[in-house]
A and B are shown apart, each in its own frame.
Chain A
Amino acid sequence: MNLGANGGAGLFSVASKVANASSFDPVTGLQNVGLGLDALGVSASDPDLWNTLWFHNEGGFAGVDNLLITAVPEPAPIALLTGGIVAMGMVIFKRRR
């Protein structure tokens, strides 16, 4: 899930693999689908509010294992801007010396 894509509405893709397969295969029809997020929302449509991992089973035998969730921040524009300003400052300082 890329939460910041699609103008802030987010995109997700699904991949799956059967047991003992070496790699995940993209699920046709579930690639780059809009998440419908609302960064200014007051419900779970705002991912800033997501704080719970959950699962539900019904109807019979079901097993869940090896849950993994990772979150990687996108490079922040402010960090890029700050780095650029610092670098330009260094260049100007060097020239004046």
Chain B
Amino acid sequence: MSSEPALMSLTAVAGAIADKRISSREVTQSCLDRIAKWQPHLNAFMIVEAGEALKAADAADVALAKGGRRGPLHGVPLAHKDMYYEAGKVVTCGSRIRRDFVATTTSTALQRLKDAGTIRLGSLQMAEFAYGPTGHNAHFGPVHNPFALDHITGGSSSGSGSAVAARLTFAALGSDTGGSIRMPAHFCGVTGLKTTVGRVSRAGAMPLSQSLDTVGPLARTVEDCAVLLGLMAGADPADPTAVAGVVPDYAGATSESMKGLTIGVPSAFYVDDLDAEVASALDATIATLKREGATIVQVDLPDQRQLTGASQLVLAVEAAAFHKRWMIERPQDYGPQVLMRLQNGLAISGVTYLEALRWRGPALAAHIAATANVDAVIAPVSPVPAPTIAESDVGNAPDAEAVIQRLTRFTRPINYLGLPSLSIPSGFTRSGLPVGLQLIGRSFDEATLLRIGAAFQRATDFHEKVPHLP
């Protein structure tokens, strides 16, 4: 067992608490010690609730001593993106508009993790209303990358990526509408799972785009993501879009090898105009997948630029519709970049929006046909490693969206298709910046992605690298 409990994985620490090899208080104190050290450099937390967390940890220890283990994550302290409603708590959504919003309900995903025994460390920073891919926030300041403090974390789950990478929390909920879990995972060197649309209830999660929003975890390992997904997935009376049916044994899938699986490498788009070090990480990962027993084949995917365009049209309109009232009443309370993005939705007619939604079925069918012979597709999350905070602070620049579109080029098509995608740490640049790759799967087949990802992590150690303060 690590001398610093906060450095353990979620599953390892949960097991150690259950076996009484360590107390929830010791674990929570270890996280709080790291938060105290790192938070001034990272700005990853929106709020730290140290006193309440220690009180909850003590209660968890007392309960466990009496045989009252609440669930598989009994006594494990976590913090989540500040957009998951928790009754009685302020949930800012990274905004000035909701700075004082107190939730009256608790999100289903969060409740299920609480029911499993987790306790709350506080809440994590995020892009304003989850509408930004870099980690900048006009109201609360940028979140910093633990591997290079002057670089971005990616967004919108910026605090989740930063805090998990720095070992301040064992895992964190993020959300992914255009890449907001996968990009922070890629830029910060952690594992992130964008779930299939309908896999995890969105009840009580701040909406951005009802067609594209997904709830998912960022964690240190694939196994940790599997455990969290198993706890959160499934039907929910509060969210009719959450799909019913038996939840697969995701954790069980992580113990299997990737022998017998076929993984596709796109022949175009995802391999075009890559930064040399991202391209090199992709090549090395493909070699590892082969060594571990997977068959690698090339796949010709349909035109991904069309998917990107459709994704942007749907997102822009749905976000503008959610925000219309505040755009009229409180435009001055938005950060300039976020207001700009929201205004984009005003340019799209109802007919164009519905065309973009109507095409979603045929587009998914075409993707299924193109990938019929593979179990997953491997691709970069982004063509580049993390840019600096300064160079990506686009403000009101006219090319702001061009910069953003480059970062999100490889993530948006997957949101449009509603597919699951697992981002795994796959290397580091010469300057020490993490590089992640995404495994894109079939609808509701997260289990296969987790199986491949876990086998990859048994063969590599990129996910184990811990950042250090300079």
Pairing of A with B: no
Give the interface of A toward B (CB within 8 A): none
Give the interface of B toward A (CB within 8 A): none
